[in-house]
Amino acid sequence: LIVLLLSGFLCGEKLRRYWSYQAICNIYLIISLVICFIFTYEIEGIEVVFDLRKVPFIIGGLYMGIGPFLATFIVFVRGLLGIDYGFWMTVLYYGGLAILFWRIASWFLKRSPMQRILFTGCVTFLFSFAQTFTMGIWHLPHSSAEVLFAYLVIQPIGALIISYIIEEIIMTIQLRQRTMKSKRIEAVERMGAAISHEIRNPLTAAIGFVQLLQSDAISKENHN
């Protein structure tokens, strides 16, 4: 997911004349979810499939405000695997969080970068913690520690890292925009100085001629 994020940013820099950052981010999130569904793993003796789908879902829901769209995609793909207990839990969790993220997305973006990073990590941890109870992971025998580590450590850390990288990318984009704006202002100032200089010269000459004509007129009146 991290490699895909950096690759998407580099491609976005080359394609930003033709594609908006919104479109590039949406494509990144969809591809990330597909990769999460493809690269899953299952612990021996447990009929539970683990993946990282909640990481791009939380990132997209908070940063882009497209939680309902991502939740619909996740539910659709999960439905292709079968309509069972896991499917309905997916509808419950991702549907509820999608509505919540959609409502708080504007509030989230007004926070400071550090607050956004910490909030993303905390939401991922709480989401994972709630899933462990629903799936009965706490009652598993020998492999419960491995499952808890996958849910309560790996996924929140992944969300924190991706959120941090996104904040760095946002800061880089804003810095570049400020630099370009300052360069534009500097160019306008130089152009204004050059134009005023070119206008000032003929005006000075015109004023000189007027003064000369006035002095000639005054001297003729004195002679008369």
Q: What is the mean pLDDT of each run of 10 residues along the chain (224 residues)?
A: 81 70 83 88 66 90 90 90 81 90 90 93 89 66 69 88 89 80 71 64 64 59 54
Res 143: pLDDT: 57
- Per the CB < 8 A criterion, the answer to whether 98 and 73 are in contact is no
Res 121: pLDDT: 92
Helices (H), 61-135: 67-80, 85-109, 113-134
128: amino acid identity, one letter? S
What pTM was estimated for this model as a whole? Answer: 0.75
Query: How many whole angstroms separate alpha carbon 131 and alpha carbon 155?
Result: 12
149 is written with which tokens? 């580590």
Res 223: pLDDT: 53
106 is written with which tokens? 């504007």
- Per the CB < 8 A criterion, the answer to whether 58 and 100 are in contact is no
201 is written with which tokens? 């010269």
Nearest to 43 by CA among 140, 121, 133: 140
